[in-house]
Structure 1
């Protein structure tokens, strides 16, 4: 039974708590409330007893636990995917604990959260701050469920703040390209790497819309005549470890592949001696360019071969058995060696098990797209130096590469990212008038609307899309051939010659 108890010159409200013991009425900070009259004390105590009977009572002392203490326990109790655990850890350690670690849960106010959010937005993108705010809200909601606090100070109150509408958290529009752009970027990437992997992967990403992790994690057993089965992805953690896990949102699916694309990927697999990777013991379609031997950049054997218009075997013969090579050919190779600054043994590309997202984007994709290498101390951002012939140019590497170059690449689509190819694929399907239900299936999206429940993918839809994508591919090959009928990239050179020999290509627009 609740009652008011006089202590000195004030009254305390006393009530029976859930434990059966009598407690004093306390404020949100856990301090005993001092009442002027016995009636006020009794009324406050009766209100607390009502909460006890309704199961809504919170122990005020529990709110004295600090945010840091609670978060340590909270994180340890989570059993989520490695990628999610990594993201939560980054949000907590880098953005929440520096401000709230020593603060008791019960003392975190809306004003504290608002001030933190304002400081973060001064340094980071609004979309990122929104994500971290969601993590804070989740942690405090769980603290409410445990009876540690009564309200969540991170809850957004509707109708408050600056009236900015939809533009408040709007980021820059995603850059996309077209079918010819996909082809040109793929060619440049293959030229930079000196092999076909990047060409095939770029084309596959642009014509399927597969996520980065799904492409890197594509195993050879899931390359099928009808398309590509998405069963796994490789997710890269901050530690560098690549975790083999289900695709995002369990978006298992088969992505229909036009005949030209499935043949391109199957031929690529057949041309390589693919061994199980040391990470997972699986055979993956794509591998990465290995580390540079000797630790110094320089022209590669394939660069010399392209510049001289011969095979890598011929270059090797010139270097090792010059007497077996015709004098004119030997002279062309020796001139290419001198022009490119080729040094034997400095750089020969090995192969690593998997691409790394950052290295792939910064040193292969972005230079191919923009024509510029990024800034990296002590060097500033700089154009990719190339020799103009054969078109579209052979990169010049090594010392004084800028001085020995005769040209540089112009941008194809500045701002395009690897994920932008996924947006590109969706945009291409929109242009082709592809039914939404088929687009959602290919992209791995879920449409929960009522209308989507009555829409179904048919064989006719699949055939039409594959036919339309093939037409786009052929038109991009024709446009590329009008720029130059050959390519230093072997796989593209073969495709261009096939179009010419079939008599379906005219070199004039």
Structure 2
């Protein structure tokens, strides 16, 4: 049993931890408790030894491990998806270790975490801070399981703090758009990139609800005549590499395609003839653009062709074999060359294997929806400079582009993001009165309720949704025809001409 030890002016309690190892009764701050009498010291020591024998005793020194040391050990012990590991590392290195690295685990109190939370919210979005605090909470929970600490200082107590009618952590509502907005944004993105790829990809994302990684990772072998199969996604790591991994939450699924979208995708594949990427050895439906389009790169052959209303082959002939081209055509091409400031090689771009999320959103999608290039040091935000002909305007590129421009785009759906197209698809399905079971299947969501188990998807449900999406697409084409019967984007121009014939 425990015993009391005379220290001259006080008594201290001592108890056996293991063979040859004894502990001293301490308070919550690990300071030795000074007892006035031998009897009190002996009673406290006995109580501690009972805890040791029953397995309920915790070593007071355990919580003195520094947060940084424990966090490193904790991270090394995780075995999760590469994307999750990357996020945890970023949370720790950029936001948690700078504040808590040298603090012993047991010394970190709720007030310390709350003070850090308040400081972070002054610099970052509340939703981001909430995510980082969640990681901190997880680290402390595992420390509790290892009996290093007794409580979690990152846990939030319910019913405390400022009262508000809505959560302070609630972010702004996602911006969505309508079918015409989808078409116009996709057309602009294609004009900015100088390819048809972005038009096809934008329409596909908006009419399937695919996640960004699923769209980038869509392999040609998973295209079907009437559907596409989501089997993989490509997740972009901080290193710039792409991780080929299962879709989020293992949401493998088959997405039905309206006939017109199936034709659009099959035509795109036939036209681009995808080859295997060097990183995974897989042929993907969509490929990257290459260097970022900042609005300052040189004009390309396709820009000249659009301006002059001819094919890229004709522009090439004017540059290399002018005698093979009619004088009137040569004049139009040379006028376009002068207007755009085109120089040989100025618009050459090596095709990348895959889109970069940030580059796509910054230099293609955001300018398409807002009409403005975003602020990116050292440049300030600025409108996309356009040559107004052919409609809806060809982006002017290269040095002095703003001086040659004669128009700019108006916003379509300012604030819309690539992920907002996924929200848009869900919203369109709601408006079409699509059954929830079919919506969940299409979006890759899981409804674990009892009611969901008793609902089943029928062929009529699928056909009804395809008919509704087709009707919306046709109305969007009609509205676009009313604006202008042609488009500088080849694939859209073909669609408009087909639609015009049907209407006649």
Structure-1 residue corresponding to 2:196: 196
SS of the residue 1:338 aligns to: helix
Structure 1 unaligned regions, length at least 5:
505-509
Structure-2 residue corresponding to 1:379: 379
Q: Aligned-residue CA RMSD in angstroms?
A: 1.8
Aligned partners of 1:29 and 1:61 also within 8 Å: no
Task: Indicate how the Cα distance of structure 1 residues 173 and 332 shifts in structure 2: closer, same or farther if over 3 A, else same.
Answer: same
- 1:296 Cα deviation (Å)? 7.0
- 1:442 Cα deviation (Å)? 0.9
Aligned partners of 2:296 and 2:397 also within 8 Å: no
Corresponding residue pairs, total: 503
Structure-2 residue corresponding to 1:63: 63
Structure-1 residue corresponding to 2:423: 423
- CA deviations over 1:390-439 (Å, ceiling 9, x no partner): 11111111121111111111111000000000000010011111111111
- 1:57 Cα deviation (Å)? 1.8
Aligned partners of 1:292 and 1:349 also within 8 Å: no
Aligned partners of 1:209 and 1:421 also within 8 Å: yes
Structure-1 residue corresponding to 2:216: 216
Structure-2 residue corresponding to 1:395: 395
Structure 2 unaligned regions, length at least 5:
none
SS of the residue 1:330 aligns to: helix
SS of the residue 1:408 aligns to: coil
1:310 aligns to 2:310 (yes or no): yes
Aligned partners of 2:292 and 2:363 also within 8 Å: no
Between stretches 155-164 and 335-344, larger displacement belongs to 155-164
Structure-2 residue corresponding to 1:276: 276
Aligned partners of 2:204 and 2:261 also within 8 Å: yes
Aligned partners of 1:292 and 1:347 also within 8 Å: no
Structure-2 residue corresponding to 1:333: 333
Q: Distance in 1 between matches of 2:168 and 2:303?
A: 49
Task: Indicate how the Cα distance of structure 1 residues 57 and 372 shifts in structure 2: closer, same or farther if over 3 A, else same.
Answer: same
- 1:234 Cα deviation (Å)? 0.3
1:344 aligns to 2:344 (yes or no): yes
SS of the residue 1:224 aligns to: coil
Aligned partners of 1:292 and 1:348 also within 8 Å: no
Structure-1 residue corresponding to 2:358: 358
SS of the residue 1:268 aligns to: helix
Structure-1 residue corresponding to 2:169: 169
- CA deviations over 1:142-187 (Å, ceiling 9, x no partner): 1111121111111112221111253221111110001111100001
- 1:292 Cα deviation (Å)? 7.9
Structure-1 residue corresponding to 2:243: 243
Aligned partners of 1:214 and 1:233 also within 8 Å: yes
Structure-2 residue corresponding to 1:408: 408
SS of the residue 2:4 aligns to: strand
Q: Distance in 2 between matches of 1:385 and 1:137?
A: 48
Q: Distance in 1 between matches of 2:19 and 2:174?
A: 57
TM-score by length of 2: 0.96
Q: Distance in 1 between matches of 2:360 and 2:475?
A: 28
Task: Indicate how the Cα distance of structure 1 residues 25 and 492 shifts in structure 2: closer, same or farther if over 3 A, else same.
Answer: same
Q: How does 1:47-126 map to 2 (within 5 A)?
A: 47-126=47-126
- 1:27 Cα deviation (Å)? 3.0
SS of the residue 2:140 aligns to: helix
Q: Distance in 2 between matches of 1:50 and 1:327?
A: 103
Task: Indicate how the Cα distance of structure 1 residues 292 and 331 shifts in structure 2: closer, same or farther if over 3 A, else same.
Answer: farther
